[in-house]
Structure formats: structure tokens, C-alpha cells
Amino acid sequence: MLVLSRKLNEKIVIDGGIVITVVKIDRNQVRLGIEAPGHIPVYREEILPLALLAKEQEALAVCS
């Protein structure tokens, strides 16, 4: 795992197409803005299993 420190309004660029910006820092909370191409889905970790399940169900419906 790469750990980086960023200040307010500073950015991290991933693979030239994904930009993560520190939008707000308030006590124990950090808000991040994520810019990514439309073909790259972005999920919060806690909803990732639900998103993958929905995608699998969609794929099965198309195959049926």
C-alpha cells in the first residue's frame, strides 16, 4: 500500500486518467473528489459487494 499525505485542494493522479482531490478536511472526516473516465466505475468499499452482485445479475439477464 502506498500512503501519501495531501493538504486541502491537493491532488493525486492515478494512471493519468483518475484524479483524486482533497476537497474538505474537518476533524475526523476527509472529503475526496474523484474524477475518472466514464468506463471506470468508482464505489465505496462498503457497497462494492452489492455493486458486483448487481453487475453479475445484469450479465445473467442479458445472457438469458
pLDDT, tens digit only, all 64 positions of the chain: 999 999 999 999 999 999 999 999 999 999 999 999 999 989 888 888 787 888 778 777 877 6
Tell me how far CA of residue 53 lies from CA of 7, 24, 47, in angstroms: 36, 32, 10
Q: What is the pTM of this model?
A: 0.74
Q: Is 8 exposed, middle or buried (0-12, 13-18, 19+ CB in 10 A)?
A: exposed
Radius of gyration in angstroms for the set of CA atoms belonging to the chain, rounded to a whole number? 16
- Sorted by sequence, the CB contacts under 8 Å of residue 1 that are 6+ apart come out as none
Instruction: Give the per-residue pLDDT at 64.
Output: 64
Please tell me what DSSP assigns to residue 17: T
